Structure 1
Amino acid sequence: MTDPYWNHNVQHHPAVLAAVPDGCRTALDAGCGDGLLARKLAARSASVTGVDRSPEMIELARGHAGVPGNVTYLEADYLADGALPESAYDSSARSPWCTTRRSRRRSPASPGSPRPAVVW
């Protein structure tokens, strides 16, 4: 997939994609924004959830013409209790903008995942 634009996050996408374990069943893109990384993750995982607390960004992500069928976008605060099932993802990615002390206490990645979280 050719990147339609460049920013600080996009430059790290190749490293994030390379860190997704082979045979990944479920991937999470926390703070997915317009969904670019989630769409890329779709080629490396059977199912991808992109989550963002901005309704405008989720609307933009859902409205993109090239959303693969294995990608779901969810408007939610991924740090909120109950927003996402705990231990449901083989791989998760989030940008430093989403990294807080609270987010390090709770991981949506499955226990024993080879590479449960990628933070760039």
Structure 2
Amino acid sequence: MASFSGCFPERIFGTLGELECDGMNEIRYYDFLKNRRETLTPAQLLKVLDLRGHGGGDFGLVESFVREIALAGQRVDKANYLKTGPLETFNSHLYVFAAEHARKTGKVVNIQEFKREFGVKDFS
């Protein structure tokens, strides 16, 4: 029972193991094949994950997203928390599209010409 406690324990069963979270500080893992239990804290998980995925970028995106949700409605200076805004996000995607275009055509892309060719306004 979790009423009035402020935490919501979760339990997930898979074919190879089980995850149990107390909703606050610990994640317990049970490996069915090895018959082994392990308890991890969020700090330990960061070490285990090694911030994989785009050099830690994926973790950073998720961390920023979760922090933004957690701070919703609070009066905090979110500028200290948000890593990028819409302009940075737009430009980073534009550069990826330009790089992909260069890869497919085998030609160096001038980003200003690329923007003009596709009708992208300069928002900077």
Q: TM-score, normalised by structure 2?
A: 0.21
As a proportion of its length, which structure holds more helix?
A: 2
- RCO higher in structure (CA 8 A, sep ≥6): 1
Q: TM-score, normalised by structure 1?
A: 0.21
